[in-house]
Structure 1
Amino acid sequence: MNTALGAIRQNGFVVADLDDAIRNWTDRLGIGPFFRIAEQPLVGFTHRGAPSEARIAVALAQSGGIQIELIQPLDEHPSAFAEYRRTSGVGLQHVAHWTQEFDQAVALVRARGLRLVQSGRSGSGGPDERFAYFEVPGSTAPIVEISETRGRKAALFAAVAAASEDWDGADPVRDMAELLR
């Protein structure tokens, strides 16, 4: 059964060392190139209902129809990423559904009993770059992210996917800013 949310479009992994994780994905799994940002902007970020100054480093790549997101928490400020690192270490922390109908998708997961963990806006912090992470109470399922993919964020994700097509292993780590110009 496919849900009204559509397919899972991203798997997000919390990692201990972003550069080491990128090397493992590129050298051992042949997935890349990765687009890296030393500190991902988080605008209006809240965790469990309270504002947080959490900082993260991020790298994105694509494997077929799935985007791979590697996330390294840079501090212990409240975030689902820091929580995961404390409780589980490293590994698959979330799966993401991409949508252009953010409010409807959020309403749907809330109606299904999922609880909001964190939210905000990514990238340039534009009004069409919202995200919200939900936990499934009583389950070992990963956190579910609803990611609004319009405007610059949609263009960024499309560029990451395009770079992976026929990637020959050259230039495995790239600056995410290249895609935002």
Structure 2
Amino acid sequence: MSTFLGPIRQLGYVVDDIEAGMKYWSETMGVGPWYYNPAVPIQDYTYDGQRHDVTNSVALANSGEMQVELIQTRSDTPSMYRDFKDRGLRGLQHVAFWTRDYDRDLQMMLDRGFTPKMSGFVGKNGRFVYFAEEHHPGTCIELSEVMGPKGRMFDLIRDAANGWDGSDPVRPFPDLSGE
């Protein structure tokens, strides 16, 4: 386990074809089921301090306690995913630490000299921030709040992976608008 912010909880992969990615991970790697949203409702999205509207497709599944995220950009909106692709890279783009005390952990990252590059939120109490420092080629750190609907969704995804038999490999995201 990391002594930094606890265990790494998610591996985020940038892909060109998310449907092919889900098929590969479920059929070849045995990871699933996948919870898929073709247009994740990211609110208050900023990149380099500028607000933008962004369209990304995301699929989430667990392998044990580790969540795998597949991300396909659907627009040319500035993002760290687009930057990653523009450098000719595909694959592991970020590792995510999950927090139930976002403000405290964000302040700790800022105190350590990390610079927010991309941020927003998904559902109530679902804030996230990606940091500019890339201490490993192509891989950055995300801090993700897992309270409210997003936290419950992550629990549902982990629980669905336990004993998954390969059936119903792609499922829709649950509603994240509730309390």
- Specify the SS of the correspondent of 2:93: strand
2:107 maps to 1:107: yes
Alignment correspondent of 1:61: 61
Supply the RMSD in Å over aligned alpha carbons: 1.8
Gap change, CA 1:101 and 1:7, over 3 Å in 2? same
Aligned partners of 2:104, 2:70: CA distance in 1, in Å? 27
Change (3 A) 1:139 1:18: closer
Q: Which amino acid aligns with 1:131?
A: F
Please, which of 159, 164, 167 is the counterpart of residue 167 of structure 1?
164
TM (norm. structure 1) is 0.92
- Relative distance call for 1:180 and 1:59 in structure 2 (3 A) is farther
The answer as to whether partners of 2:84 and 2:138 remain within 8 angstroms in 1 is no
Matches within 5 A, 1:27-106: 27-106=27-106
- Shift of residue 62, structure 1, vs aligned partner: 0.2
Q: How far apart, CA to CA, are the structure 1 residues paired with 2:32 and 2:114? A: 32
Distance 1:19 1:89 in 2: 19
Report the CA distance between 1:113 and its aligned residue.
1.9
Structure-1 residue corresponding to 2:142: 145
Gaps of 5+ in 2: none
Letter aligned with residue 161 of structure 2: S
- Residue 53 of structure 2 aligns to a residue whose secondary structure is coil
Q: Deviations over 1:48-107 (max 9, x none)?
A: 110111210000000111100100000111111111111133110110000011011111
Secondary structure class of the residue paired with 1:26:
helix
Matches within 5 A, 1:110-121: 110-121=110-121
Contact 1:121 1:131 in 2 (8 A): yes
Matches of 2:167 and 2:134, distance apart in 1 = 43
Please state how far the C-alpha of 1:180 moved relative to its aligned partner: 7.9
Gaps of 5+ in 1: none
Maintained 8 Å contact 1:135/1:142: no
Identity %: 35
